Amino acid sequence: MIDALYKEEILEHYKNPQHFGKLPKFSTSSHQYNPFCGDDIELFVLYSNQKVKDISFVGTGCAICIAAASILTEFAKNKTKKELTKLNDEDMLGLLNIEVSESRKKCALLAFSVLKDCL
């Protein structure tokens, strides 16, 4: 039952991603493309006093990729650069609250990889 709720949350983030669209003003951006599956994510980050004041993304990809970008942008907003640089892949996978197979980990971690470039 709980697993089904988490899967519903992933689908909701995929269908209605949070922070989707290019920020009109940003401090930095980064873009990555996964040629193996076609996932494509670009992040835009606006910093103020070493904190993420605003963040958004654009891109295309599978449900896990887009949901992960949406969940990550919600999580990252108002965090400091220092807090975000302490995160690792397992922390990002934990934000998703679902079991991610080895073959789908690149999808789940693409936005996180892009965020690390922005930091």
Distances (CA, A) of 116 to 15, 16, 74, 86, 103: 25, 24, 15, 10, 21
pTM score, two decimals? 0.92
End-to-end CA distance of the chain: 37
Residue-level pLDDT, tens digit, the chain, 119 residues: 445 545 888 999 999 999 999 999 999 999 999 998 899 999 999 999 999 999 999 999 999 999 999 999 999 999 999 999 999 999 999 999 888 889 899 999 999 999 999 99
Strand partners, 58: 42
Distance, in Å, from the CA atom of 91 to the CA atom of 27, rounded to the nearest integer, reads 25
CATH of the domain at 75: 3.90.1010.10
Distance, in Å, from the CA atom of 87 to the CA atom of 85, rounded to the nearest integer, reads 5
- Give residue 4's pLDDT: 54
Assess contact for 31 and 42: CB atoms under 8 A: yes
Residue with tokens 């690149």: 106
Question: Nearest 5°: phi and psi at 45?
Answer: -130, 130
For residue 47 the two structure tokens come to 């910093």
Q: Which domain holds residue 46?
A: 2-118
Report the domain count for the chain: 1
Distance, in Å, from the CA atom of 7 to the CA atom of 111, rounded to the nearest integer, reads 19
- Give residue 62's pLDDT: 93
